[in-house]
Amino acid sequence: MSTLPTYRWRLAPEGLATRRQLRALGLRPGGQDVVAEVHRPRRRRGPLVAYLYRIDRAKPVRPMSPGRAAALAKAMAARRTCPACRRDAGYCIPRSLGMCVPCADCPPS
């Protein structure tokens, strides 16, 4: 069993990136294995761990297909539609309220 190289926060060598950093570059890991990890210390809990991938082995992000884009748009529209007044709120309805803010502020009498 081999252990991964571990680096402290902000001290990882050039050529390695986290998933989020790869995504910002328009890349994805593309099936490669994790090559190292970064530990960010915290005071009251264990350290945060981020896995690192090689940038030179990363592949481009797959383009969004028309069907996937339509499904995503439909899902987001459902999250914005108030079940009480059936209007598009223009924002995602808070799950804690279950309805748009105006409907939550004025309960039916």
Given a cut of 60, whether residue 41 has pLDDT beyond it is yes
Predicted pLDDT at 109? 60
Is position 87 within any domain? yes
Please tell me the total count of domains within the chain: 2
Given a cut of 50, whether residue 23 has pLDDT beyond it is yes
Categorize the per-residue pLDDT at 107 as very low, low, confident or very high, splitting at 50, 70 and 90. low
pTM of the model: 0.68
Across 34-63, average pLDDT:
94
**What residues make up the domain containing 89?**
66-105
Question: How far is Cα 77 from Cα 89, in angstroms, rounded to an integer?
Answer: 10
* Residues whose CB is less than 8 angstroms from the CB of residue 100 and which lie 6 or more positions away in sequence, other chains included: 82, 84, 85, 87, 89, 93
In this structure, the answer to whether residues 72 and 38 fall within a common structural domain is: no
Is position 81 within any domain? yes
In this structure, the answer to whether residues 54 and 75 fall within a common structural domain is: no
In this structure, the answer to whether residues 89 and 47 fall within a common structural domain is: no
Predicted pLDDT at 1? 41
52: β partners? 36
Q: Which helix H or strand E contains 72, and what residues bound it?
A: helix 66-80
Predicted pLDDT at 106? 81
Is position 1 within any domain? no
